[in-house]
Amino acid sequence: MLFVLIALILLALAGVIWGIIQRLQAKKTMDGIEEMLDSAIRGEFTEDSFTEERLSKLESKFADYLQSSSLSALHVKNDRDKIKTLISDISHQTKTPIANLLLHSELLRESELNADQKESLEAISSEAEKLRFLVDALVKLSRLENGILSLDAVEDDPGRILKEIGVSMGKKAEAKGLYLHVHAEGEPAVFDYKWTLEAVSNIVDNAIKYTEKGGIELFLTASEMFTCIHVKDTGIGIAEEDIPRIFARFERLTSSRDKEGVGIGLYLAREILQKEGGYIKVSSKKGEGSEFQIYLKKAV
């Protein structure tokens, strides 16, 4: 009986010792993994820092994972740097030729030209302007999509955007015999002023382009979570089935093929607003005008 009792005590003691050993080994493994994670967070993780003698099978696999992740992050950074350089080169190398095309077009307008020559000159000037807009838009879009540029969204008055657009685009609307009414009173929101001005300007420019009589009205409304910029026109309108297509990259509706444009302005506008936490809604009927609603988040 005594022998059995001693055996049971020794067995229980062995179980306790085994549990302690397992716990110590688990703690050692977790400490090793935590150390690897800390090194990875600091950007100092290297495979050489952790020798096989001190690594368990789990730690070894985790070290391999972190090593591959570090290499992937390095490759992404290198690719992003290459894209940044390419975008910069495109922007720089195309700016001067396009500017020269536009300059010489203006100089030729002062010459005596026959009707055919004037028509060709207008075509050259129009295509050069289209090319300039396309290159500028693609450069901006690439910088946004690749994270080269980030938006600096802060609380601001969206009415300032409406006032600036009223000044910058008022003459363009007036030249077509259109009104451009601006009502800039509204509540503040959180947005990047420069990029949001770009987005709203693209939408207003489209409204002027596709409106032949009447005009455009800009005004603000507010809800609990958003301040909304409304761009309402009396233009040709959009068929209901075509509304989802207008924000696609390089998408141009059949009804707008005779208008200037490259089909990227609305796509760029949507990308900008989404990165700010906002969005765009459109309501329109064919032949009855359109209303774009640009929602900007309010401060929490």
Same domain assignment for residues 161 and 119? no
Can you tell me the distance from the alpha carbon of 246 to that of 253, in angstroms, rounded to the nearest whole number?
Answer: 7
Write down which residue in 127, 149, 171 finishes a domain: 149
Q: What share of the chain is helix, strand, coil (3-state, %, to 5)?
A: 60, 15, 25
Does residue 275 sit in the same domain as residue 179? yes
Residues 132 and 145 in one domain: yes
Angle between helices 193-209 and 265-275 (to 10 degrees): 150
How many structural domains is the chain composed of? 2
Residue 215's beta-bridge partner residues? 179
Tell me what pLDDT residue 53 has. Answer: 47
The amino acid at 129: E
How deeply is 195 buried, as exposed, middle or buried, from its count of CB atoms within 10 A (0-12, 13-18, 19+)? buried
Q: What is the predicted pLDDT for the residue at 285? A: 85
What is the radius of gyration, based on Cα positions, of the chain?
31
User: Do 135 and 170 lie in a common domain?
Assistant: no
Boundary of a domain, candidates 97, 126, 149: 149
- Does 132 lie in the same domain as 89? yes
Domain boundary among 149, 178, 203: 149
Are 144 and 191 members of one domain?
no
pLDDT at 183: 94
Domain identity same for 58 and 97:
yes
Residue 158 to residue 155: CA distance in whole angstroms: 9
How far apart CA 227 and CA 223 sit, in angstroms, is 6
Name, in order, each residue with C-beta under 8 angstroms of 191's C-beta and a sequence gap of 6 or more.
153, 154, 156, 158, 276, 278, 296, 297
Domain range for residue 213? Answer: 154-297
> Does residue 23 sit in the same domain as residue 141?
yes
Q: Are 170 and 180 in contact (CB under 8 A)?
A: yes
Q: What whole-number distance in Å separates Cα of residue 19 and Cα of residue 78? A: 48
CATH number at 190 reads 3.30.565.10
Same domain, 25 and 56: yes
Let me know whether 231 and 283 are in one domain.
yes
Residue 10 token pair: 């020794």
- Looking at the fold, whether 139 and 182 belong to one and the same domain comes out as no
Same domain, 159 and 253: yes
Q: What is the pLDDT of residue 42?
A: 59
* Blockwise average pLDDT, block size 10, the chain, 300 residues: 61 63 64 64 55 53 61 58 64 73 80 81 78 74 67 91 93 93 93 91 91 94 94 91 78 55 74 89 90 92
